[in-house]
C-alpha cells in the first residue's frame, strides 16, 4: 500500500507528465504551422510518450491500492523564436522532469517503499535517454546552423521517429 505522501507525490507527477504531453503537443503544432512536419511528428511522439508515462503512474497508484486525484493542467507556451529555441526549452523541461523523478526516488527510499523505488527505476533510465536524445538534436542543430536546406534534411530525418510502447515495463 502506498503512503499518503507517496500517493500525493505520484498524483502530482501524473499532472507533470500530462503537462509535458500538453507542452509537446503545443510544440508539435508550432512545427506543423512552420511547415516542418518531421519536427512536428517528433514532438507528437514525445506527446505520446508522456501520456504513456502518465498512464504508468496512474496504474501504479491503482495497483498499490491508492487513490487517483487528477488536477488541472497548466496552459503550455505556444510560441518560440526558432527550432533551436524549442529544443533548448525541451532540454530544460526534460532536466526538470529528471529532477522530479529523482525526488520521487528519494521519497520512495525515505518512505521505505521498495515497490515504488523499483517501479521508478524505469523512469530514471528513461530520463537519461530523453535528455540524451534532445542533446543529440541540439548538437545537430548547432552543426547545421541557419542553413535552410540542412534544416529540411533534418526535418525529414525527424519524421522517421515512431512511438512504440515498451513491452517490458
Neighbour-count burial of 18, counting CB atoms closer than 10 A to its CB (0-12 exposed, 13-18 middle, 19+ buried): buried
Domain count, the chain: 1
Mean pLDDT of 57-78: 97
- Whether the per-residue pLDDT at 108 is higher than 90: the answer is yes
Q: Note whether residue 167 is domain-resident.
A: no
Supply the CATH number for residue 17's domain: 1.20.1260.10
Domain coverage including residue 9: 4-158
Residue 168: which pLDDT band, with cuts at 50, 70 and 90?
Answer: low
Q: Note whether residue 66 is domain-resident.
A: yes
Which pLDDT does position 146 carry in this prediction? 79
Q: Is 2 left (phi over 0), alpha (psi -120 to 50) or beta?
A: beta
Q: Note whether residue 164 is domain-resident.
A: no
Q: Note whether residue 163 is domain-resident.
A: no
Q: In this structure, what C-alpha cell is assigned to residue 136?
A: 543529440
pTM of the model: 0.94
Q: What percentage of the chain carries pLDDT values higher than 90? A: 92
Q: Note whether residue 68 is domain-resident.
A: yes
Q: Note whether residue 61 is domain-resident.
A: yes
Q: Note whether residue 64 is domain-resident.
A: yes
Q: Note whether residue 169 is domain-resident.
A: no
Amino acid at each position: 500500500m502506498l503512503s499518503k505522501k507517496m500517493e500525493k507525490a505520484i498524483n502530482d507527477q501524473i499532472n507533470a507528465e500530462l503537462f509535458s504531453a500538453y507542452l509537446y503537443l503545443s510544440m508539435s503544432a508550432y512545427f506543423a504551422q512552420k511547415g516542418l512536419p518531421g519536427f512536428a511528428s517528433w514532438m507528437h511522439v514525445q506527446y505520446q510518450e508522456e501520456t504513456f508515462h502518465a498512464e504508468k503512474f496512474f496504474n501504479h497508484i491503482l495497483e498499490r491500492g491508492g487513490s487517483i486525484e487528477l488536477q488541472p493542467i497548466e496552459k503550455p507556451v505556444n510560441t518560440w523564436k526558432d527550432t533551436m529555441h524549442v529544443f533548448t526549452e525541451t532540454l530544460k523541461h526534460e532536466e526538470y522532469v529528471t529532477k522530479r523523478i529523482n525526488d520521487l526516488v528519494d521519497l520512495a527510499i525515505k518512505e521505505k517503499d521498495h515497490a515504488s523505488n523499483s517501479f521508478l527505476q524505469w523512469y530514471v533510465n528513461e530520463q537519461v535517454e530523453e535528455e540524451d536524445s534532445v542533446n543529440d538534436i541540439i548538437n545537430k542543430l548547432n552543426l547545421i546552423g541557419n542553413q535552410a536546406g540542412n534544416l529540411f534534411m533534418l526535418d525529414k530525418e525527424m519524421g522517421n521517429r515512431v512511438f512504440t510502447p515498451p513491452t517490458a515495463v
